[in-house]
Every structure is written in structure tokens, then in C-alpha cells.
Amino acid sequence: MSAQLIEGKKISDSIREEIILEVEKLKQKGVTPGLVVILVGEDPASQVYVRNKAKACEQLGYYSEVVRLPAESTEQELLQLIERYNGQDNVHGILVQLPLPKHIHEKAIIDAISVHKDVDGFHPESVGNLMIGDDALLPCTPSGVIELLKRTGNDPAGKHAVVIGRSNIVGKPVSMLLLRENATVTICHSRTPNLPEMASQADILVVAVGVAKLVKKEWVKPGAVVIDVGMNRLPDGKLCGDVDFDDVLNVAGWVTPVPGGVGPMTITMLMANTLKSAQRSLS
Ligand SMILES: Nc1nc2c(c(=O)[nH]1)N[C@@H](CN(C=O)c1ccc(C(=O)N[C@@H](CCC(=O)O)C(=O)O)cc1)CN2
Ligand SMILES: [Mg+2]
């Protein structure tokens, strides 16, 4: 039997409908959610993502600014800009699009964003709050994964979740979120022996390694939920995930496609974080 598709685009659209209702309520209290997106350089993919973030703001009725800086901008210039927006009350979220040009230290930039406006959830204090279970702005792709699971009736509680990948942006935070949702979590990585055997023990398998079509049907327990966070560009220009989608389709119970699975959730969860930050500004 063929796996059920987890349709990220549809789920993302329905979350945006929910956000619109909350934005109306907030506007009645005199607050419009505001997001600033900063792009340094001209990376083509980043330009698309930044444009899509601005479009999402427009769709949801947010105030938004996109600041485009030349690739040769200095770290100091970027820090000064962040400092300005940290102090600007109509801005509830500040996002610096990654990757940054090599001469700018990513950590210095992330650390400079006020934790209250850290809608990417990358600031060390946000990460710490996630670890200890305090209220935090959560990183967008990992929280999108949790929404996909919950909204398809795949509650992680009591399940064995295996996460392949240990990046700060996806692998580690998604593992913490799954733990917070009462899953038993195993984190695997490039030095894990018997990766296929580990993966095949998962009720929920989350893959975020950046290796095209790594996960084959032998890695998947029959009926498992397979969440593919990978986004790899093939030589023919097509996008594919870290999971060999066609191969696992007759083994998995549920699977995310690439494109159209996890990807669309990233910007929607950014919008949810900006709303949350704006709501917090009232309390
Ligand atoms: N500051 C940040 N930088 C980056 C992040 C981030 O969350 N914060 N994530 C990625 C890029 N990204 C958003 O910024 C992003 C990536 C992918 C998608 C998406 O919708 N993907 C589609 C396919 C798009 C395509 O065809 O190219 C999908 O998977 O269906 C949205 C946002 C790195 N940088
Ligand atoms: Mg996807």
C-alpha cells in the first residue's frame, strides 16, 4: 500500500488562515505585527526566500521591511542595523537571511539580535529556553515538523523518533521538540554505525543531512512516518530530499514530499513567531 502524503503546502495554508484571525484581534488592540528581513549579498536562493517572506507578510497584513545590503558590507554595518531595529517598537521580529558572506561571523550576528525579536529561534537564549522547556520563539523548520506531525494525527507522544542529522538549525532543535512532545528520541549522524538499522527502528523518522536520496526502503519500518527536511538540487536542476521518495513510498505509512513537504512550513512558522512576538509586546 502506498504511504499517505503529508501535504506541507495545504497545512501551511490552513495555519496562515488561523494567523489572519489572530492578526485581526491584535490590530483591534492597536498592534500590527512587524518583521524586518535583512539580506546581505545576492545569493539567488536567498533572494527567493526573502521575497517569499515579504509576500507572506503582505498576505497576512504585517508591517514588513526588507533591507538588502551589498555582499561587501562589513560586520559592523550589519550589527549597527540590528541595533537600530532592536530598539524600534513597530518591529517584533528581526531575521538575517543565512548563509551570510564568509567575512561576516554568523554567531556575532545571531547573538546581536534581541532575544525578544529572535523570530528564527537561533539566539543562544532561545536555544537555552527550548532546552529547559521555557517559553521561547522556536526555530521555524523544526516547529514546522512538529506541526506537520500533529496536524496529520501523528502525535509523537510515546513514539520512537529517530532524527538523522545534528545541525544547530534542524537536527538538535527538532530532537528537543520531539522530546518535549514525549517521544523517545534517538539522534544519529555521520559517525553513527549501522545507520539503516537505527533508522528502521523509528516510528517517526526525521532526516536532515543534505545527502540526496540517502534513505532507502530498507531504512524504513513498515508504516513509519518519514519527514524529509532535505533540499538538494540535482544536476538536472530538480529539487529532491534526503529520502528516496519513490523507493520508500510502499513501505512508509506517511511521507513528506520534496518540494511541498517541510519547506512551505518554514516561512509560515516564521509568520507564527512574528505574531507571537507581537502578542508578547502587549503583556
Ligand atoms: N535566517 C534563516 N536563513 C535560512 C533559513 C531560516 O529558517 N532562517 N532556512 C533556509 C531557507 N529558507 C528560509 O529562509 C527556506 C527554504 C526552503 C523553503 C521552501 O519553501 N522550500 C520549498 C521549495 C522551494 C524551491 O523550489 O526552491 C519546498 O521545500 O517545498 C522556504 C524557506 C536557509 N536559510
Ligand atoms: Mg519539503
pLDDT one-digit tens code per residue, 149-175: 999 999 999 999 999 999 999 999 999
Kindly report, residue by residue over 186-206, the tens digit of the pLDDT.
999 999 999 999 999 999 999
Q: Hey, whose CA ends up nearest to atom 13 of ligand 1?
A: 49
Which of the listed CATH numbers 2.70.70.10, 3.40.50.300, 3.50.90.10, 3.40.50.720 matches domain 139-263? Answer: 3.40.50.720
- Predicted confidence (pLDDT) at residue 86 exceeds the cutoff of 80: yes
In the chain, the percentage of residues whose pLDDT exceeds 70 is 100
pLDDT for 283 beyond 90: no
CB 230 within 8 A of CB 260: no
Are 220 and 226 spatial neighbours (Cβ–Cβ below 8 Å)?
Answer: yes
Q: Taking the model in full, what pTM does it have? A: 0.98
| 204-207 β-sheet, strand order | 4-5, 254-255, 225-228, 204-207, 160-164, 184-188
DSSP string covering the chain: -PPEE--HHHHHHHHHHHHHHHHHHHHHTT---EEEEEEES--HHHHHHHHHHHHHHHHHT-EEEEEEE-TT--HHHHHHHHHHHHT-TT--EEEE-SSPPTTS-HHHHHHHS-GGG-TT--SHHHHHHHHHT---PPPHHHHHHHHHHHHTT---TT-EEEEE---TTTHHHHHHHHHHTT-EEEEE-TT-TTHHHHHTT-SEEEE-S--TT-B-GGGS-TT-EEEE---EE-TTS-EE-SB-HHHHTTT-SEE--SSSSSHHHHHHHHHHHHHHHHHHTT-
106-156 residue pLDDT tens: 999 999 999 999 999 999 999 999 999 999 999 999 999 999 999 999 999
Q: What spacing in Å lies between the alpha carbon of 272 and ligand 1's midpoint? A: 16
Residue from 49, 106, 118 whose mutation best tests the ligand 1 pocket (most atoms within 8 A of CB): 49
CA distance 231 to 241: 5
Q: Is 260 touching ligand 1 by the criterion CB < 6 Å?
A: yes
Query: Per residue in 201-235, pLDDT tens?
Result: 999 999 999 999 999 999 999 999 999 999 999 99
How far out from the chain centre does Cα 81 lie? Answer: 24
Q: Domain 30-114: which topology?
A: Rossmann fold (3.40.50)
Where along the chain do its domains lie? Answer: 30-114, 139-263
Of 266, 269, 270, the one to substitute when testing ligand 1's pocket (max ligand atoms within 8 A of C-beta) is: 266
For ligand 2, a single-atom ion, which residues have Cβ within 5 Å?
258, 261-263
The overall average pLDDT reported for the chain is 98
pLDDT at position 266 = 98
Question: Has the ipTM of the complex gone over 0.85?
Answer: yes
Whether 139-263 and 30-114 are alike in CATH topology: the answer is: yes
Amino acid type, 109: I
For ligand 1, atom 29, name the residue with the nearest CA: 263
Among all bound ligands, the one having the nearest atom to the CA of 120 is: 1
97 Cα nearest atom in ligand 1: 1
Averaged over 36-45, what is the pLDDT?
97
The three-state DSSP-derived secondary structure of 208-234 is: CCCCCCCECHHHCCCCCEEEECCCEEC
For residue 95, give the ligand 1 atom closest to its CA: 1
For the stretch 236-280, pLDDT in tens is: 999 999 999 999 999 999 999 999 999 999 999 999 999 999 999
Query: What is the distance in A from the centroid of ligand 1 to the CA of 266?
Result: 6
How far is ligand 1, taken at its centre, from the CA of residue 48, in Å? 9
User: In sequence order, what are the beta bridge partners of 185?
Assistant: 161
From the CA of 256, which ligand is nearest?
A: 2
